[in-house]
């Protein structure tokens, strides 16, 4: 059973263009995410699924420089891009993450993967109900399940949001959500990067924690933010875009 973290990333973000390569501590944001995903113990491969647009050559170059796989496909049909990327590299279990979540804790990846492997569920995630901060999202599902979805839906939202069709049909697919034991104040807190304000928050966290421990955990993030609650006020007003 080959397990791969599949990272969706591109330069043409509508709210914050170029954010994938935005520098934090002198390195592209995507590089920091790749580094963290390579620390996951139950993952065999990291694959960056970017687009075939000319401006995304820098993402391919970065992936190859970090010795991870890269696939370039459709800009709009993200489902097709992710499916073909993982079919190309022989993935059995896809761990879907997005390039705007550089703080993602590899321990959470391992937790979701472990449950997916032992439970036999079609879809295991930690964000179907928000008990983690946004930006700590992990979803795992078999490549064959995604191939089935690709063959039965042409809904634009399904094609843009890779696994949307799976978790919206819990009567057809066996779906599991893994909840956290974090306090309510952390549920849905913004640790993702969609806007300039989001980037400021995430950049500040990296600058504070990474130099002392590049493998810092979610626990260390929450401890730091407990000491600096003003940081979460910077992007509290940002509205998350709905999948539909």
DSSP run (H or E) holding 226:
helix 218-227
What's the pLDDT score for residue 126? 97
State the Cα–Cα distance between residues 134 and 244, nearest whole angstrom. Answer: 18
Is the pTM of the predicted complex or chain greater than 0.85?
Answer: yes
Percent of the chain with pLDDT over 70: 100
Strands 93-98 and 123-125: unpaired
Mean pLDDT of 146-155: 97
For the chain, the domains span: 3-188
**pLDDT tens profile 211-231:** 999 999 999 999 999 999 999
Strand ranges, E, within 52-185: 69-73, 93-98, 123-125, 139-142, 175-177
Q: Which CATH architecture has domain 3-188?
A: Alpha-Beta Complex (3.90)
State the Cα–Cα distance between residues 47 and 233, nearest whole angstrom. Answer: 34
């Amino acid at each position: 059973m080959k397990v791969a973290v599949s990272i969706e990333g591109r330069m043409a973000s509508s709210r914050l263009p170029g954010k994938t390569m935005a520098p934090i501590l002198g390195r592209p944001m995507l590089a920091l995410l790749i580094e963290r995903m390579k620390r996951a113990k139950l993952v065999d491969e990291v694959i960056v699924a970017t687009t075939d647009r000319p401006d995304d050559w820098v993402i391919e170059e970065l992936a190859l420089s970090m010795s991870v796989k890269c696939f370039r496909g459709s800009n709009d049909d993200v489902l097709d891009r992710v499916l073909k990327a993982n079919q190309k590299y022989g993935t059995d279990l896809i761990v879907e993450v997005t390039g705007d979540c550089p703080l993602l804790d590899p321990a959470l990846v391992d937790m979701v993967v472990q449950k997916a492997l032992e439970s036999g569920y079609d879809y295991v995630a930690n964000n179907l109900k928000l008990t983690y901060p946004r930006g700590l999202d992990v979803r795992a599902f078999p490549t064959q399940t995604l191939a089935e979805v690709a063959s039965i839906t042409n809904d634009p939202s399904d094609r843009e949001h890779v696994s949307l069709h799976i978790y919206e049909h819990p009567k057809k697919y066996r779906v599991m959500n893994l909840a956290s034991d974090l306090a309510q104040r952390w549920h849905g807190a913004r640790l993702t990067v969609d806007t300039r304000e989001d980037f400021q928050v995430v950049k500040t966290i990296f600058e504070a924690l990474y130099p002392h421990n590049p493998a810092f955990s979610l626990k260390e993030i929450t401890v730091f933010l407990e000491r600096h609650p003003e940081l979460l006020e910077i992007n509290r007003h940002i509205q998350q875009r709905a999948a539909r």
